[in-house]
Amino acid sequence: MSTTTSSRPATQSQRIASVAEQIGATLGLDNHKLLGAILAEAAAEEARRNATFAEHIRAMYQAETKPTRQARTTRQSKLPKPPKPELRPLKRVESHEINIAAALDPYYLYEVYGADQLPLALDEFTVTKLKEAVQAVQKRHPDTKPTNSRNKPAVIDYVVRYVVNGR
């Protein structure tokens, strides 16, 4: 029977309990919770009197709080995204019916926003919704399809290419 070691890092309370357990075994004390609190108070007292001990504590603390590569990545991802450029309609299409139940019509979006803004307008929709736009294109261009129908940029590229350029 093999023993496996958990790769998950111990939580702070687990670490406190572990240290208290070790000291308790050495000193023969079994109330580990109380022992943990007493150890913390004793360490605090020692740090006040002993500068070397205090510096050792500080070094250990800084070593553990140093940001890891993964943490930096996480922090970067939480930065606010730059605002998307605002879509500006270029013309009115008075004959177009307001109907959210209708299929997404890329030719209408092209008419309203023009070629430059069409990718941005399409990008507002999910890939599932964009499939409606793909179907609209395929009605006019049978036997064509996006290079990857599950990849949003690929779908948008396909729709824009055929709606704007006809190919």
Partner 1 sequence: MALSWQEFQGFVGYVFSCAGYAVHDVSDQRFPNGTGVDLDLYADNIGGKLLARVEVRQFSPPNNIGADDARRFWGTLDIAGGIPGYLVTTSDFGAPARAVAAAAAVRGRLRLLNGQQLLRYIAYIRGSRVKEAGMRSPSTSAPTPPDCLFQADAVARRQTTETVVLTVGNNRGGVAKTTTALNLALALNERGWRVLLVDMDPQSSLTRGLPSPEEVPPSDSSLVDFFMRSVPLSQLVRSTRFKHLSLLPSHPDLKMLDTGGGARPDAELAFIAALHDPAVVSPSGEKFDWIILDTPPAQSFYTRTALAAAHFVLIPSAFDVWALLGINGVLETTRAMQGLMGTGVEPVGCLLTRYRASAVKENDWKQFVHDLAGRGLAPLKTKIRHDDRIENRNRQATGGRLAGILRFGQAPGTGLIDYQEALKELMQHVHHN
Give Dmax (Cα) for the chain.
Answer: 88
**Alpha helices per DSSP H over 50-126:** 51-65, 69-77, 106-123
Q: Is residue 94 close enough to count as binding partner 1 by CB under 8 A?
A: yes
Q: Is residue 125 close enough to count as binding partner 1 by CB under 8 A?
A: yes
Q: Is residue 121 close enough to count as binding partner 1 by CB under 8 A?
A: yes
Rounded least distance, CB 114 to partner 1, Å: 12
Look up tokens 């943990």; give the residue: 36
Q: Sort residue 32 into left (φ over 0), alpha (ψ -120 to 50) or beta.
A: alpha
Look up tokens 């007292």; give the residue: 45
Which residue of 62, 85, 98, 167 would you call a contact of partner 1, by CB under 8 A? 98
Rounded least distance, CB 133 to partner 1, Å: 11
* Residues at the site binding partner 1, with contacts judged by CB under 8 A: 87, 89, 92-94, 96-102, 104, 108-109, 111-113, 121, 124-126, 128-129
